């Protein structure tokens, strides 16, 4: 599985261009509403824009059994490039795929401009509301609730993946239940990291980098980077500052391998065993399997400090530039069906957005041999059930990137923590 998910330190293109284009109205070559579509025998091509491998290719073959006139072509790119290009294409009115995947950090950018997208309600997909976690459904709605912009694919319930062999070399317990007991809090996690560091395990640090740790800590707070009125509250929210301070402590304590998420050195770090722990939403398990092919049985999964939280998850949307919205909407419905979300979880690791699946014994009892036969179905079901949804603002990804860049400057020795935090606050003030 090669799902290139959120790159915390990635540059983010401002959405101002998109906003200004949407304000002007205009559709630039798309077709509107439920009247669009094609004749039953017409050969059509649907493009689907993804950031990495979503594990959909086997599903396309099944879809084409009932839609033999449809050709499906994937366009894959890296996380930041995918979203920045989508913003540009929506602003200029050309170049978007028939279906586009949007990660949760960006969904607010697009739900704020519903006239750029086909309303999935026009194709009957509002009937799917009963399937979804309420908060996941709400993320896909326009600001006023009148338009359904996207259907959810997965949620990123949190756990902590760790290397059992490296823990044993450090004299730490390696059993997943015992490991979970090591860190009921993030402070305990850092103290465990200090014990690992004191053991001087050759070639290994405790964590890949603090960027995604910061995101996980903020995701566990009652309120995150935005309040319910869509005001950025980074400067006044004590939980954000606490997450920053703990991230800095990870750096100061020498626990970080300084490998930015989804960078080539980070990929290599999996294969080399360069770090012992990594924040692990469900989709990360597939990525670890791909990057650390020779480490089967050496990885396991424990509970995340703080007990719950969400990181990542996506929606599928229909830009108005698409010429075949009826067929594209049918494909979205098919790809996000409960059966197919369960199948993709088992094959790729992305955890379903469909709560009715969570009590299904087939999912509850699902294990992964690569992770030492960890009961991943049970682990991630419990994580998702325990999380409390958090309001995400319209430029969540841009705010996160500003903070992530600040953490990176500290890690690279370019600024003191105080200097970096001050610049983060100034950078965030420029996000409009």
pLDDT score of 8: 37
Query: Token pair for residue 324?
Result: 């075949």
**Length, in residues, of the chain:** 432
Q: How far apart are the first and last CA of the chain?
A: 36
Q: How many domains does the chain have?
A: 2
Checking if the pLDDT of 41 tops 90, the result is no
pLDDT score of 75: 96
Please state whether beta strands 205-207 and 44-50 pair in parallel, antiparallel, or not at all (unpaired). Answer: unpaired
Which helix (H) or strand (E) segment holds residue 177: the answer is helix 176-182
pLDDT score of 42: 84
pLDDT score of 52: 86
Q: Among residues of the chain, what percentage have pLDDT more than 70?
A: 91
d(C-alpha 341, C-alpha 144), whole Å = 28
Q: Do the domain assignments include residue 7?
A: no
- Is residue 254 located within the same domain as residue 403? yes
Instruction: Give the residue among 197, 223, 233, 243 at the shortest CA–CA distance from 407.
Output: 243
pLDDT score of 18: 53
Checking if the pLDDT of 297 tops 60, the result is yes
Q: How far is CA 39 from the centre of its chain?
A: 36
Let me know: does 261 contact 407? Beta carbons within 8 Å: no
- Is residue 143 located within the same domain as residue 243? no
d(C-alpha 95, C-alpha 77), whole Å = 14
- Is residue 145 located within the same domain as residue 175? no
Q: Do the domain assignments include residue 50?
A: yes
* Band of pLDDT at residue 36, cut at 50, 70 and 90: very low
Summarised one tens digit per residue, pLDDT across range 317-372 is 999 999 999 999 999 999 999 999 999 999 999 999 999 999 999 999 999 999 99
**CATH number, domain containing residue 240:** 3.40.190.10
Summarised one tens digit per residue, pLDDT across range 81-129 is 999 999 999 999 999 999 999 999 999 999 999 999 999 999 999 999 9
- Is residue 136 located within the same domain as residue 20? yes
Let me know: does 262 contact 78? Beta carbons within 8 Å: yes
DSSP three-state, residue 162: strand
What range defines the domain where residue 169 resides? 160-310+389-429
Which helix (H) or strand (E) segment holds residue 46: the answer is strand 44-50
- Is residue 190 located within the same domain as residue 264? yes
What are the two backbone dihedrals, phi and then psi, of residue 410, each rounded to the nearest 5 degrees? -65, -45
Written as one string, the DSSP assignment of 313-335 is -EEEE-BTT-S-HHHHHHHHHHH
* Band of pLDDT at residue 432, cut at 50, 70 and 90: confident
Locus of tokens 């997450």: 243
Q: Do the domain assignments include residue 93?
A: yes
- Is residue 200 located within the same domain as residue 104? no
Q: Do the domain assignments include residue 81?
A: yes
- Is residue 318 located within the same domain as residue 341? yes
- Is residue 100 located within the same domain as residue 168? no
* Band of pLDDT at residue 252, cut at 50, 70 and 90: very high
- Is residue 291 located within the same domain as residue 189? yes
Q: Do the domain assignments include residue 8?
A: no
d(C-alpha 255, C-alpha 207), whole Å = 6
Checking if the pLDDT of 255 tops 80, the result is yes
Q: What is the DSSP letter of 41?
A: T
What is the residue-averaged pLDDT of the chain? 91
pLDDT score of 40: 54
- Is residue 236 located within the same domain as residue 133? no
* Band of pLDDT at residue 307, cut at 50, 70 and 90: confident
Helix 57-66, helix 325-335: angle, nearest 10: 120
Please state the pTM of the whole predicted model. 0.88
Checking if the pLDDT of 401 tops 90, the result is yes
pLDDT score of 415: 98
Q: Do the domain assignments include residue 3?
A: no
């Amino acid at each position: 599985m090669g799902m290139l998910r959120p790159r915390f330190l990635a540059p983010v293109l401002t959405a101002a261009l998109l906003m200004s284009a949407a304000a002007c109205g205009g559709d630039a070559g798309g077709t509107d509403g439920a009247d669009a579509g094609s004749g039953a025998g017409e050969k059509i091509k649907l493009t689907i824009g993804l950031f990495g491998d979503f594990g959909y290719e086997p599903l396309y073959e099944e879809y084409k059994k009932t839609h033999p006139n449809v050709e499906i072509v994937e366009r894959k790119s890296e996380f930041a490039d995918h979203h920045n290009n989508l913003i540009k294409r929506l602003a200029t009115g050309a170049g978007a795929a028939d279906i586009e995947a949007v990660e949760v950090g960006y969904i607010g950018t697009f739900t704020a401009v519903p006239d750029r997208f086909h309303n999935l309600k026009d194709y009957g997909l509002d009937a799917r509301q009963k399937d979804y976690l309420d908060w996941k459904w709400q993320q896909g709605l326009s600001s006023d609730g009148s338009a359904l912009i996207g259907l959810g694919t997965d949620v990123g319930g949190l756990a902590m993946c760790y290397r059992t062999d490296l823990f044993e070399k450090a004299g730490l317990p390696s059993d997943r239940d015992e490991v979970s007991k090591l860190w009921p809090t993030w402070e305990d996690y850092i103290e465990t990291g200090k014990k690992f560091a004191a053991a001087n395990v050759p070639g290994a640090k405790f964590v890949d980098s603090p960027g995604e740790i910061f995101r996980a800590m903020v995701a566990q707070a009652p309120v995150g980077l935005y309040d319910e009125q869509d005001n950025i509250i980074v400067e006044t929210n004590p939980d954000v500052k606490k997450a920053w301070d703990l991230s800095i402590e990870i750096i100061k304590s020498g626990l970080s391998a300084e490998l930015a998420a989804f960078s080539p050195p980070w990929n290599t770090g999996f294969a080399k065993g360069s770090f012992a722990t990594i924040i692990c939403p469900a989709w990360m398990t597939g990525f670890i399997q791909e990057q650390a092919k020779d480490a089967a049985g050496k990885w396991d999964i424990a509970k995340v400090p703080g007990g719950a939280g969400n990181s990542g998850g996506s929606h599928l949307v229909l830009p108005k530039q698409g010429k075949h919205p009826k067929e594209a909407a049918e494909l979205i419905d098919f790809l996000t069906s409960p059966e197919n979300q369960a199948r993709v979880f088992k094959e790729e690791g992305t955890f379903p957005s469909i709560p009715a699946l969570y009590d299904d014994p087939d999912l509850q009892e699902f294990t992964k041999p690569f992770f030492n036969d960890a009961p991943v179905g049970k682990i991630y079901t419990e994580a998702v059930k325990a999380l409390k949804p958090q309001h995400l603002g319209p430029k969540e990804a841009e705010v996160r990137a500003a903070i992530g860049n600040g953490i990176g400057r500290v890690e690279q020795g370019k600024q003191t923590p105080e200097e970096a935090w001050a610049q983060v606050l100034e950078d965030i003030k420029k996000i409009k």
